[in-house]
Amino acid sequence: MTFRTLTRPLAGGAAMATAIAALGVPAAPAATALPVESHRPSTTAPVVIGHRGASGYRPEHTLASYRLAIRLGADYVEPDLVSTKDGVLVARHENEISGTTDVAQHPEFADRRTTKTIDGRPVTGWFTEDFTLAELKTLRAVERLPLVRPDNTRYDGMFEVPTLDEVLALVRQEERRTGRRIGVYPETKHPSYFDGLGLSLEEPLVAALRRHGLDRAGAGVFIQSFETANLRDLAQVTRVPLVQLVDASGAPYDLARAGDPRTYRDLTTPAGLAWIATYADGVGAHKDLVLPRDAVTGATGEPSDLVPDAHDAGLLVHVWTLRDENQFMATNFRRGADPNAKGDGYAEATAFLDAGVDGIFSDHPDTTVMALEDWLAAADRSA
């Protein structure tokens, strides 16, 4: 895989000022921009990201899930990052862990069940920030969606909660085994919340990348977040590409907390994308933003303008998340009426590739890899 150099644009200039003014908010400060190496391949070949590993086949965010994603052909694996009480970054989709570990079966931790306010919402359960790493290592992972993926429950109780360092070590090991570049795509979860606890995620993340020789241009790393302020801060201290996640509804929590009226939808307008381009290298878009569904039939129609608009702003577009089960698909990709049955994930992946995306997050990376290989072969034949 080859890479081209991309320099983050600075805020400022007539065109940028016009774009920012259209949003009705001040432009980001024109701080020193770092040259970064974009992971947009010069061949424009899209990439496949193992979403929480190969979470369609193994309990998510386990070393077994990441290892399988790599062996199924994923170009990147995605560890979501939260902090322990003693400041160690571990891979969990949420800091509340009752649905992804066996913590409820540990009577010694029963008194740690509590309710907290996370990003403005009350959440009840057990939280990583209330456990030391040593305590967390006594827990075991379980399947988060047992009714949807009952086959995965056979692995309940087998795997530990991995640290970021363990994930990075696994990737290096798999690179040596396979002889190919394997990327890492960490997401910082609830960064404002963890900042408020004195457990900032960004500093230990960058430190871990540096320990493993990955805080450099072309290292095979993306960092992503649903918030904006932490990405803007990271843009000043790391050379790896940054990706602004955008959902189909709602708003970045840090903007909402600051009284900024912009929503995720606002950030996908040309003006919003121009602002994102001042600090990030790509957008990680909810798939419905790229292939909108008909409100009546639930089927996808023509692609939106998001991909070409993002490309015009110099941004990559990675979509999330493709899953093979019917219930997670638009109606035109489903097979039969059983929501847990496998739909046509191959056709869904192909539709997003046809829409021009630069990468796809997938719970079933083998399906997406197969679609990508065939799509590239068809493109070569028609060239």
Q: How far apart (Å, rounded) are the C-alpha atoms in residues 182 and 344?
A: 27
What kind and span of H or E run contains 48? Answer: strand 47-50
* Whether the Cβ atoms of residue 287 and residue 300 lie closer than 8 Å to each other: no
Distance CA 357, CA 350 (A): 10
Q: Residue 224: beta bridge partners?
A: 187, 243
Active-site positions read 51, 93
Q: What is the chain's length?
A: 383
Which amino acid, one-letter code, is at 18?
Answer: T
Q: What share of the chain is helix, strand, coil (3-state, %, to 5)?
A: 35, 20, 45
Instruction: List, as one string, the DSSP characters of 76-99.
Output: EE--EEEE-TTS-EEE-SSSB-TT
Asked if omega into 321 is within 30° of 0 (cis), the reply is yes
Residues 303 and 377: their CA atoms lie apart, in Å, by 22
Dist. CA 365–CA 340, nearest whole Å: 18
Tokens for 235? 């843009």
